[in-house]
Structure 1
Amino acid sequence: MPKRPLYIIGAGSQSKVLLSMIQECGKECSGIFDDDEKLFGSTLWGVPVRGRISDMPDKEETEAVIAIGDNNTRVEISGRFRNVSWSLLVHPRTCIHSSVEMGEGSAIFPGTIIHAESVIGRHVIINSAAVLGYGTRIGD
């Protein structure tokens, strides 16, 4: 079975952090989409910037993550795509209790500790070395 393409939306500093994590998780990024025309045709660590965000295929076999720091923008962009499979990225060097619920499109960076019965919503970014206590709720 062929691997689904994994894309990043956004080509700023957050995309570099996510691209690094994707690679550390043993995955491969197929491309980046961003609305800055000056970036079209360029590469980030060998990964091509393929075009506008709206150019990303809106298909079930498309896997993506949004690399934009602004919460409202992430929600707005995710609403544009009805069929995309939003990737949940969890760095292998985290400590997350088995009862934690994590939403699609979220990114959990290295060193993070999440205690029991916490809930992480959709498209949430938990930065490195964060500690979320028992029953914490973020997003949605």
Structure 2
Amino acid sequence: MFLYGANGHGKVVAEIAEENKVSIEAFIDIDFHKQVFLGYNVMHEIPSNTLDMIISIGDNMTRREIAHKNHNINYLTLSHPSANISLRTTIDKGTVIMAGVSINSGVDIGKHCIINTNSSIDHDCKIGDFAHISPNAALAGNVVVGEGTHIGLGASIIQNINIGKWCTIGAGSVILQDIPDGGVVVGNPGRVIKINSLNN
């Protein structure tokens, strides 16, 4: 397996692969100054014989751009052994589940998501492609998170909330009402301080 992205997030993904005894062939990174990372060789373009890969980059839009440019690759999923994941959860390709995560029954997680350390996703939530659920964030039941949305560190979202596409939910925010596409939210209770236009 190749990992695309030799930075901090790549370190975490690599260690999850190692925990699962998944062989890492090399990292791929466009920074030509990087030659070795975590003891693995760093390549600067995707080799023609690439079969399996994970995009190990934290930025949601960058992951989407790389995935769309390289749609013919077999993207794997990885879950840390300490994650508690219901057998009735579905996880699409390219998604990584970090240490200490809890995911309950009926959850549907899209492509190339990051479900980060110690986050909690309760029953029947739907997480859109390229979303990032940050460490210690908590989603109650039946929450919908749109494509590309970033749920910040320690944010809390009550049940039955719909969060739109490409939103940013600030660290520690408490979400008590639906959030429109492009919404930037901070505070307790969470308030929308900006709506970013979606040009994608």
What band does the TM-score fall into relative to the shorter chain?
0.7 to 0.9
Q: 1:17 aligns with which of 9, 12, 37?
A: 12
Q: List alignment gaps of at least 5 residues for structure 2.
A: 130-200
In the TM superposition, residue 139 of structure 1 has moved relative to its aligned partner by 1.5
1:67 correspondence with 2:60:
no
In the TM superposition, residue 58 of structure 1 has moved relative to its aligned partner by 5.2
Q: List alignment gaps of at least 5 residues for structure 1.
A: 1-5
Provide the rounded CA distance (Å) in 1 between the counterparts of 2:120 and 2:11.
Answer: 23
1:18-57 → structure 2 map (5 Å cutoff):
18-39=13-34, 42-51=35-44, 55-57=45-47
**Which structure shows the higher helix fraction?**
1
Taking only aligned residues, the RMSD between alpha carbons, in angstroms, comes to: 1.3
C-alpha distance after superposition, 1:51-93 (max 9, x if no partner): 1xxx21355x610001111111101101111321101001111
The aligned residue for residue 184 of structure 2 is none
Work out whether residues 99 and 116 of structure 1, in 8 Å CA contact, stay in contact via their aligned partners in 2. Answer: yes
Q: Kindly, what percent of the aligned residue pairs are identical? A: 29
SS of corresponding position for 2:66? helix
- Corresponding residue pairs, total: 129
Q: Considering Cα pairs closer than 8 Å and 6+ residues apart, tell me whether 1 or 2 has the greater RCO.
A: 1
Q: Which has the larger radius of gyration?
A: 2
Q: 2:114 aligns with which of 94, 102, 125?
A: 125
Provide the rounded CA distance (Å) in 1 between the counterparts of 2:97 and 2:80.
Answer: 6
